[in-house]
Amino acid sequence: MSRVASSPVEVPAGVDVSLKGQDITVKGSKGTLALVVHGNVVVSQNENVLTFAARDGAKQSRALAGTTRALISNMVTGVSVGFEKKLILNGVGYRAKAEKTSVNLTLGFHIR
């Protein structure tokens, strides 16, 4: 089994996951997301935990199980927490200042 697929996805409170055949729908406070799972991947739900497995032992099936687990984990995060972007500036010679939704960069360019 894929190492990624072997770790389960915990569904937080306030997020509703519904499985209908190979269709999975994730609903939360931020919206609703849906995915059609490949036929070689088995998704099972036990209370608030989702587990993933390859239907057969083929290499492609194991890879698909890991990919599906990552996609659904991101779906659960997206409908519960939402998307956020972080910017980390390291270095010397410039200043950065965040103003509401923009970033002001002051570069230390100096001509002699």
Q: Are 54 and 5 contacting, i.e. CB atoms less than 8 angstroms apart?
A: yes
Using pLDDT thresholds of 50, 70 and 90, give the confidence band for residue 79: very high
Question: Is pTM beyond 0.85 here?
Answer: no
> What is the C-alpha to C-alpha distance for residues 98 and 105, in angstroms, rounded to an integer?
9
Question: Using one digit for the tens of pLDDT, what is the confidence trace for 40-77?
Answer: 999 999 999 999 999 998 999 999 999 999 999 999 99
The CA-based angle 74-80-84, given to 5 degrees, is 70
The domain locations on the chain are: 3-80
Q: What is the CATH number of domain 3-80?
A: 3.90.930.12
